[in-house]
């Protein structure tokens, strides 16, 4: 892997500014909140669009003890960058990827007999003993073994010469809805399975059930480890949790910015963008901004009344967002000029557009808004440098950030 080349400011038309200090702060806040449980920073999906390596380093510096990813390739990226913290694979790797998972020192999650066999064979081929976590499905019905199957898998791991049971876990389906009684039911089911393991004389290792919402709203779910994703990035898992004490201290860590590319004065009655659906009601200044739906600025944001910040003011989008550009109605006589900074998500002056606002307009969740920011948008890191001494302004148009240790084979 080659070191990331800094993005030339003179060529930068749009970028995502990631505050490493905010990430460290959020990790430290979450670690204090859930103690004595350990914090696992979820950095899958390119760190929710923030850059997985930079997020991992900042989270570890803030107090996270574990990292979590979805697939082996994401774990490999961390190892390639020299990140040596424990990394949990949240889904069972395909048999063909198990050798690499073991070679990289990742911790596989298992929930099938085939997965146990593949992990055991991979460990045997490397003449090592590999710790794994077994996942039980307590009602979300996405992945995980049913309770009887999970006990059987734990017994198989316990009896294996090449595997050890490093953890046992489940995932909460409605923890972000505090009034919903199903979280308590899931935890009851989870406790029942843990009781069965104890009756079999099996030590479950690191027990975990809590995601961000569970960690914040359901203390009983914390056990020995909590897996925090969206809260790590400074966002509340749901509006219903906004009043919780720690939530007020979270700091959003990403700002999506661009620079005005072109400005024109248009008369009242002129129409803008594809389909000519947006009609100017009065003469005004329209600015073209070089980010579009290929960059994660969803096409229909205009129809939902979305606004951006120009000169510290809220200005509405003008017409459908196109693949590479969007237009903004800056109003009559506006002083907007090419090169002016535009904030699509984040703060400018006294105004702020939060990712939650986009999510509400689009009838989706903040997670999707952040993860949708495309790979051609450079990530620019500001704030405190990470614990490994990387420069705070490191930038890269690819999800990875910097070179590190060679990948073990």
Q: Give the phi and the psi of residue 46 in degrees, each rounded to 5.
A: 55, 45
Residue 274 falls in the annotated catalytic set: yes
- Distance between CA atoms of residues 331 and 318, nearest Å: 11
User: Is the Cβ–Cβ distance between 221 and 187 less than 8 Å?
Assistant: yes
- Distance between CA atoms of residues 150 and 163, nearest Å: 15
| Catalytic residue selected from 111, 257, 274, 367 | 274
Write the DSSP assignment of 155-204 as a string of letters. Answer: HHHHT-SSEEEEEEE---SSTT-TT-THHHHHHHHHHHHHHHHHHTT---
| Catalytic residue selected from 44, 48, 233, 293 | 44
Give me the residue label for tokens 């859930």.
Answer: 34
User: Is the Cβ–Cβ distance between 327 and 290 less than 8 Å?
Assistant: no
Tokens linked to 104 = 């990289």
Write the DSSP assignment of 105-149 as a string of letters. Answer: T-B-EE-SHHHHHHHHHHHHHTT--EEEEEEB-SS--SSSB-HHH
Q: How far is CA 351 from CA 257, 288, 310, 344, in A?
A: 14, 21, 10, 11
Residues annotated as catalytic (active site), given as ranges? 44, 274
């Amino acid at each position: 892997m080659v070191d990331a080349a800094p993005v030339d400011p003179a060529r930068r038309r749009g970028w995502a500014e990631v505050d490493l200090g905010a990430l460290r702060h959020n990790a430290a806040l979450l670690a204090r909140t859930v103690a004595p449980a350990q914090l696992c920073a979820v950095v899958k999906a390119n760190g929710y669009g923030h850059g997985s390596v930079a997020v991992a380093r900042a989270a570890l510096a803030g107090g996270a003890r574990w990292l979590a990813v979805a697939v082996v390739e994401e774990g490999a990226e961390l190892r390639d960058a020299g990140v040596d913290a424990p990394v949990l694979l949240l889904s069972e790797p395909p048999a063909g990827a198990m050798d690499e998972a073991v070679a990289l020192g990742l911790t596989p999650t298992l929930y099938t007999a085939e997965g146990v066999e593949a992990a055991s064979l991979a460990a045997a081929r490397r003449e090592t003993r590999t710790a794994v976590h077994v996942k039980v499905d307590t009602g979300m019905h996405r992945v995980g073994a049913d309770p009887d199957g999970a006990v059987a898998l734990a017994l198989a791991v316990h009896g294996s010469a090449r595997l050890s049971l490093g953890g046992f876990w489940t995932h909460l389906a409605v923890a972000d809805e505090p009034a919903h009684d199903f979280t308590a039911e899931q935890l009851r089911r989870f406790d029942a399975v843990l009781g069965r393991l104890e009756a079999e004389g099996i030590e479950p290792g690191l027990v975990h059930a809590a995601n961000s919402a569970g960690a914040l709203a359901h203390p009983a779910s914390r056990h020995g480890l909590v897996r925090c994703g969206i809260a790590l990035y400074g966002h509340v898992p749901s509006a219903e949790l906004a009043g919780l004490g720690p939530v007020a201290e979270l700091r959003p860590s990403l700002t999506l910015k661009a620079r005005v590319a072109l400005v024109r004065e248009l008369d009242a009655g002129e129409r803008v963008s594809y389909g000519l659906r947006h009609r100017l009601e009065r003469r005004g200044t329209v600015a073209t901004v070089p980010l579009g739906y290929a960059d994660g600025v969803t096409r229909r944001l205009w129809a939902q009344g979305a606004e951006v910040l120009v000169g510290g003011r809220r200005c509405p989008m003008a017409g459908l967002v196109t693949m590479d550009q969007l237009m903004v109605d800056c109003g009559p006589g506006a002083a907007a000029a090419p090169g002016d900074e535009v904030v699509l998500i984040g703060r400018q002056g006294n105004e702020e557009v939060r990712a939650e606002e986009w999510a509400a307009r689009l009838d989706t969740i903040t997670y999707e808004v952040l993860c949708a920011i495309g790979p051609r948008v450079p990530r620019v890191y500001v704030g405190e440098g990470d614990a490994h001494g990387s420069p705070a302004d490191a930038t890269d148009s690819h999800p990875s950030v910097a070179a590190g240790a060679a990948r073990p084979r």
